[in-house]
Chain A
Amino acid sequence: MKYLVVILVALTAFASCEQPSHTLPILGEREVINGDTVYHTIPDFSFVNQDSQVVTNATFAGKVYVADFFFISCPTICPKTTKQMLRLYEHFQNEDGVLLLAHTVDPKRDTVAALKHYAHNLGVEGSKWHFVTGDQDEIYEIADDYFSIAMEDPEAPGGYDHSGRFILVDENRHIRSFCDGTDPADVDRFMKDIESLLNEKK
């Protein structure tokens, strides 16, 4: 009888994992103001992409997007994270509801022209994947809002320190998921989260 209970509990736990689509939580700090829950929200921003176009929150209106931080001459994790972003780019190529937003943490060297060159060499065309540059302080500040690190550090390889996280933002500017962009298996899991967020909208 004891065993039966254990098996039943295990089965229930297993079944609960098997639900095809679950709603992703809204991540970050929240506070209750006048009875309403206010969730962590990505603030207003304005950067410039590889095609010299201004990229703001409005660019992502009605869409979900994946944000990350990188720099072109990065000798450590960036090639790996860029390769995983490229996977997302290819996977969601025909899904207009998903955009990508890569912020350089090295705006001094990563000019619009340098970003254009980089995107072109990668084979990235069109307006799905925005490589943006802008005011360094603004980029470093918004990294905090994306639960990421971006800072200048002469001691770090290449001169900058940053995390290789990918952050999933929904159409209400809320963070719904993130992953380690250097780990292909974690990116697999993240891709499923993107898909379930898309399904949530349907």
Chain B
Amino acid sequence: MKRSSNILGGLLVLLAVLYAACDIKTYEHGEILYENFCANCHMEDGTGLPGIIPPLAGADYIGLYPEKLPCIINQGIKGELVVNGRTYNTEMAGIPQLTEFEITNIINYINTAWGNDFEIVKHLDVRKALEECE
């Protein structure tokens, strides 16, 4: 009895360690892409520049229009945009060289970083959104 509980305990510890390791590695690819393509303007901590570049951390826009994110990353955006009640009007250049998978990884990094808790997207969702961009 004691032995089996030891084994069980050991397994639990192993699982916890594996889980923690996986957790750290989640969207690492997305994070690298984010740092290379997005962080100059949206900042490493996703806070943007008040009034000029909208934040991504805690941005209501992400929850309201998840289907728009792939198009914005791919094509850029021009014109007014309201995020957390503040209006932004700075043109963003698109990054057409990013693949569907890369866009998916970036979005999932954004959706889970800095305390964000938005829904995880799958690359097929991103493909569909990209097909339907305006």
The interface of chain A, by Cβ under 8 A from chain B, is: 75-77, 79-80, 82-83, 86, 118, 120-123
**Number of interchain pairs (Cβ within 8 Å):** 32
Determine which residue in A77, A82, A83 has the highest number of CB atoms from chain B within 10 A of its CB, and name it.
A83
**Other A-B pairs, 5, CB within 8 Å; known A77-B40, A79-B53, A118-B52:** A79-B40, A79-B41, A79-B48, A83-B49, A122-B51
Shortest C-beta distance, B42 to chain A (Å), equals: 8
Query: In whole Å, how far is B35's beta carbon from the nearest beta carbon of chain A?
Result: 13
Q: Give the complex CA separation of A13 and B51 in angstroms.
A: 46
Q: Which 10 A-B pairs have the closest CB atoms?
A: A121-B51, A79-B49, A79-B41, A122-B51, A83-B49, A123-B51, A121-B52, A76-B40, A79-B53, A82-B49
B93 at the interface (CB under 8 A from A): yes
Interface size on B, residues (CB 8 A): 12
Nearest opposing residue in chain B for A122, CB measure: B51
A120 to B88, CA, bound (A): 12
B83 sits at the interface (CB 8 A): no
Task: Determine the distance from Cα of A80 to Cα of B43 in the docked complex, in whole angstroms.
Answer: 7
CB neighbours of A123 from chain B (8 A): 50-51
Bound CA span A79–B49, Å: 7
| Contact (Cβ within 8 A) B43 A83 | yes
Which A residues are CB-close (under 8 A) to B50?
86, 122-123
A75 touches B51 (CB 8 A): no
Report the minimal beta-carbon distance from B18 to chain A, rounded to whole angstroms.
35
Give the distance to chain A from B115, nearest Cβ to Cβ, in Å. 19
Q: Within 8 Å CB of B40, what residues of A?
A: 75-77, 79-80
> B40-83: contact bitstring with A at CB < 8 Å (1 yes, 0 no)?
11010000111111000000000000000000000000000000
